Structure 1
Amino acid sequence: MSVTFEEIRLSLPHIEVAAHLYGPEDGQPVIALHGWLDNAATFSRLAPLLEGVRIVALDLPGHGHSDHRPLGAAYNIWDYAHDVLQTAEQFGWKRFSLLGHSMGAIVSVLLAGAMPDRVERLALIDGVIPYTGEAETAPQKLGESLQKLLVVDDKRKPVYASFEQAVAARMKGVGAVSHEAAERLAQRGLMPVPGGYTWRTDARLMLPSSMRLTRAHAWAFVHGVACPASLVLAEQGLLTQPAMLELTQALPFVLHRLPGGHHLHLDDQVGAEAVAAVFNPFFAG
């Protein structure tokens, strides 16, 4: 993989995060957000193909080379919106666009819906709203989360004897990926430990959510988005269930259906170029 980015670290007021910088310094400001358990390398194929933009591809807290949240803190999805906003503040960006994949797309919608005056454009890949839960399930969800929190332990993360074993495991993980995509994510996501390699990700990311937004909450954020929004749907992605397809049809966003899996922008060059062909005119618009 050729190096087409600059590696940086940002000391935000509440946490230190790592990121990859792509594109010209005078390009349109874009903050790129990866999916759950992934890292900034998810944009390593796509970002170099996007024109006229200055991309900050974050490792979200608990992922990649960014710090983990302090002990006792949670990984609520809406807290990532604060991380993104503080990143924009570091660069002095009062208006910026968001490029999000999966969980990163969900965070993008939450932030754009909450602070429409700050977000210029939304470029989303196979993600839009979080898994929702209604009020009657909230006590059970909180109880399950608290119980799991009592026993969470970084030592229980899997240890792989070789880099290649870790790559093979990631290929079969959430949102299965190609071998080369898994290699790219693993190169940034693994760290050496006695006995081999394990993931840098915080074990608390595997905990069940303590609370979920209701469907009404989620739609309120969608309808709060005031900027242009373009959503790429992978034909073999995670939004192919009938209920999710029905949901996407009701979105006030421009939809583009492309062949490929959930990581179509990373799995191969053809997929990355197809996504870039959608987003280049969108950002230029």
Structure 2
Amino acid sequence: MSLYRSVSKFCLTIRQPNNYCRNLSNKNTFKEVAIPVPWGEIRGKWWGPTESRPILILHGWQDNCGSFDRLMPLLNNEVGYLAIDLPGHGYSSRLPAGIPYTITEYLSTIKYVEKYLGWPRVALMGHSLGSAVSFTYTMIYPDKVDFLVCIDGAKPLVPKVTKNRLTRALDAFLKNSDLVIENREPPSYTIEEMKRIIHQPNDGAVDIDVAHYLMERNIAPSKTQPGKYYFTRDPRLKAEAFTYITQEEILYTVRNMKCPIFVAKAKGSHYFEQKENFYEVLDVLKKNIADFEFNYIEGTHNVHLNNPEAELSSLIDTFISKHNLIDRSVSTGIKEDIVVEEIDLLRNKI
């Protein structure tokens, strides 16, 4: 069975006037978009209404915007949602060779998207890394964010001090940079092997039967091993970042945050740093923000993909309905020049 046919039962593509949309439910569809940035383009899926400013949504580390495919159709379909692939992920352009990925590039991406689409403000939703980026953006631009939704992640992480951490980080960056500079094909796998690779991290955080949602924008056919595929995300993403914001600076800066904030913590997930850091920040938010909401939810780190219908979607929907008060209708809708008219599914992996 071909790669396209093996996954087509999960992801049906339908023709609609002037654009291709993927129809994942009877409630909602999306448009594929490409937004120009200085190093290339940021790709994404614009769900729901396109005549007004959507909520901007950021995925987790080495994932892509497909991780929200099961959550989006469950949310209020009178609100727009723009889920993007961060640089080096999914269909978005990689950074130039020799350049590492840091939170600075991700924060800049939000700014470039805002500027190109003419948004005066932004509402943010994120998962894991996307939560940390969204949270950090809200910390440094507290007057520019309508509200913030964080799924199993929030504050920027502060790594533990370990022996040779910086040495390992630099060596990993240089090793994976060679793949990019030399344009070498990464290791290849069968489809089933790739599903298991996606499933394994974080104690099986992504269920096997939903792994294809992440694979669609993340794999390509091998040119050297027929019948196998490789991951197209930038291998430089594997390297640990050098730069971090200290816990002290985070605690100082979060006192400026003022918008409504929703945080969901999956009970079956790790903290990825000393958990005391996480709860220290939550305590500050509880004291300083009247509309702060924190929920423990059943599930793993990727609960938004595995089983969003259980409780997460209703909690987020209620929060958005309560706080979606800013007028989004003034010259902030989709631009026709960013709509990707056709999605080449075979070229784009699945």
TM-score norm. by structure 1 comes to 0.89
Deviation at 1:250, TM superposition (A): 1.7
Question: For 1:46, which of 58, 61, 71 is the aligned residue?
Answer: 71
SS at match of 1:270: coil
Q: Map 1:28-107 to 2 at 5 A.
A: 29-51=54-76, 52-107=78-133
What is the identity percentage for the equivalent residue pairs of Structure 1 and Structure 2? 29
Deviation at 1:224, TM superposition (A): 3.0
1:157-204 deviation digits (Å, cap 9, x = unpaired): 4310x2121011111124621123211101221111222111111111
SS at match of 2:63: coil
Q: Are 2:151 and 1:125 aligned?
A: yes
Letter in 1 for 2:169: S
Q: Are 2:323 and 1:256 aligned?
A: no
Q: Which residue of 2 aligns with 1:218?
A: 250
Deviation at 1:138, TM superposition (A): 10
2: CA distance, partners of 1:164 / 1:230: 36
Cα-Cα RMSD = 2.4
Deviation at 1:156, TM superposition (A): 7.5
Deviation at 1:244, TM superposition (A): 5.8
Letter in 2 for 1:205: L
Q: Are 2:200 and 1:172 aligned?
A: yes
SS at match of 2:265: strand
Which range is displaced more, 147-156 or 43-52?
Answer: 147-156
Count of residue correspondences? 280
Q: Are 2:110 and 1:110 aligned?
A: no
Letter in 1 for 2:200: K
Q: Are 2:307 and 1:268 aligned?
A: yes
Q: Which residue of 1 aligns with 2:19?
A: none
- Structure 1 gap segments, 5+ residues each: none
| Contact residue 173 and residue 238 of structure 2 kept, 8 A | no
Q: For the structure 1 residues 172 and 143, does the alpha-carbon distance in structure 2 shift closer, same or farther, using more than 3 Å as the test?
A: closer
Question: For 1:209, which of 225, 241, 247 is the aligned residue?
Answer: 241
- Structure 2 gap segments, 5+ residues each: 1-10, 13-21, 23-28, 286-291, 323-350
Q: Which residue of 2 aligns with 1:246?
A: 279
| Contact residue 102 and residue 126 of structure 1 kept, 8 A | yes
Deviation at 1:211, TM superposition (A): 2.3
Deviation at 1:85, TM superposition (A): 1.5
